[in-house]
Structure 1
Amino acid sequence: MVARIKCSTSIRKPFHYNDNKVKQGYACLLAAENMLLEVDTHPDNAVLLLEKQVALRPDVKVNSVHISLNFSPDEELSNEQMAQIARDYMEGIGFGNQPYLLYRHFDSGHPHCHIVTTNIGLDKSRISLHQIGKLKSEPVRKELENRYGLIKAEQQNTKTLTINPLDASKVIYGKVATKQAISKVLNAVIPVYKYSSLAELNAVLGLYNVRAEQGNNGSRIEQNKGLVYRVLDHDGQCKGVPIKASLFADKPTLPNLERRFLANDVARSKYKDSLKIKIDVTLKFKNCSSLKVFQDHLKSQDIRLVTRVNEHGAIYGLTYIDLKSKTVFNGSTLGKEFSAKAIMERIHLAKIVNPDTGFERATALGKGNADEFMNENNSASPYYRLDEKSALELLMQYEYAASNVPSEWKKKKKRRKK
């Protein structure tokens, strides 16, 4: 069993999250413990009661507790068993006498339940939440595993209890509730991955068929720094009605994202060099005859390469997504040698020597039209010298002491006596 505790300043947010799940048919209310009012037919009574209890201590800001108990997919628990385990858990962490709502959810591959409560007592006392996970939850969780014969958290495959972006079901317009599906993707990406621009964020969201848009140039959305999220089809075309960022619970608006950009840029910097080495080694020692082969080699290292293509079908940008470190880098951010132009030169282009000039000309190979790409990027000539070395070769080569430097230059200058 895995227990997760989230504390916040709003009791309504976790209540409405679970209540909406019930209304959509993805959850059911298992129990309403220590409630003085009827909540089975009038669920709003529950949040009113919790709010009144929270109001007893206006000086306490963090007064909402949202707990999820997650069980192994191999365990088959009845509603009664799950409810009893939840009651014993709440008793063990010191919330046995608190009013709380217990919901069972059916929207995941493993059985789990959610608990909504407050840490404010009827006598105006406050239950301490400091290190509640380590000091209270963990000992109780282990004791319940032994008592009920549950599969221990250490033995469970953590992938079943977390969202894996590449294995998760993509959002397909018309198949599921659009807002709910997009919200699930945003919750799995925005707080987890380290990106520093909207383009980098969209590279990850694109793995789920979701995109964030600022609106067209001069539009009211762009002028007001608004943001909408849309569903994409398999061809990358937008489908359905866009949904405003402000309508989602976590408010993934553009100003909130921009605050993350700066922090993410600092947090991801320590992973930059290791990613560059992986890409360089792949280019140097793997037979990358086309962009598709290069992508496959990176994929085997849990790195996703996302291409940005213009309206003419030419590749103008590359984005690297490291699934292990949860970092996102545009190629130009890593360095000029990792940009789209440089990668196309090293992968897509075969070298054909021109006997008249002694230079080699780049010709297209594999997927994509490299000549078209080179024409659109006039900053570099399509001809390269035969003895040109890659950046990695230049860095790794041994420099001999016996070079052609004049001996006079090697001598140290004598200091002038004062």
Structure 2
Amino acid sequence: MLVLQKRLDLNERCKKGCLHIVLSFPAEDKLTQAELKKISQTYMDHIGLADQPFLVYQHLDTLHPHLHLVTVTVKADGSGNSVFHSRQAAVKDVIKQIEKDYRLTPSRGRMMPAGKLESAQKLQYGKIPATLAISQVLSVVLPNFKYSSLLELNAVLRHYNLVAKTGKPGSKIRFYQGLTYQMLADDGRKIGTSVKASRLSGKPTLRYLHERFKANKLAVLPGQQRIKTLIDLALIAPDTRSLAALGQRLSQQGVKAVYALEATGKLCEVIFVDFRTRSVFSASQLGGRYTPSKLLEHLAESEKSLESAPGIYQNPLLKPSSGMAALQAEPAISSEKQASAPLPDESLLKLLLDPVPQADSLPRELKRRLHKKRKQISLQL
């Protein structure tokens, strides 16, 4: 690395002086380290960089044994080397010659069949060949899910750690309407190399996707009412106070919410993927009530209403009402008056037989009414 760094320091004007090359081999080709060294040296000779210092690393972290070649394009006198860039068209001929000399499996036209699968699993880098793994996922997703745009398709593919790319603006792949697929890590990072759609089984190119977009625009209409109902029920739930809570409640019904963010971090779209009906809906296409701005506005209002709600949900039994207090105080007052009032002139027998009123007792009628009123309050709760 120190040698490569010193070579780069000879030409400070060179902005792209480092070159990274990957040579991948089929798993059935059993090659020794000596053969791999010869192949890497032969490759560098044919592209005109044989005199440049380069490092070769062998990686075995995937099912495809491959080499990483790292070199610089700055010559020993400090001048730039444009031989490689002027002979890119000859690289394919170099690969053919190396495959012929070392009896390797030809890479041109090599395609692995995806096979017919009813379901797909999340992709894991290095477990199975990338081309085969991507083809298997696409063979399940593309013909069975109802999506009407590339954004909606990527919302489904993200569940399987996969993404479809049309290239950056101004790139050749965007100009020629090309399409590539690339695996993703669990955290969303792109991993591995991109695979052209033309190399995959079934040719899932952009032209094929456009035909699917047109057919799915009508096929997805019957499932819109179901997704709207689920969203409405999730929004009126008291614990739905954020987008994360909304997505968690929808996931209980087999719906996954995928949030599309701009480069500034602003929410621009919400995609709802219904795995039970295999339908995909953009929030903006469901109606004005379900646009991202309206959803955020509704969640903000719900949070404010919940903050001011504790006084409404107080238990009325914790504090007796004024009517109840008056009802309990009135008998005590009346009984005191009865005890202090002078007794009329009656016979001794009637005085002994009549019950004596007590200050701490209540008439039976009042007790019955109190019991019914408490029962009514408890039923209201």
TM-score computed with the length of structure 2 as normaliser = 0.48
Larger radius of gyration: 2
Structure 1 or 2: more strand by fraction: 1
Q: Which has the higher helix share?
A: 2
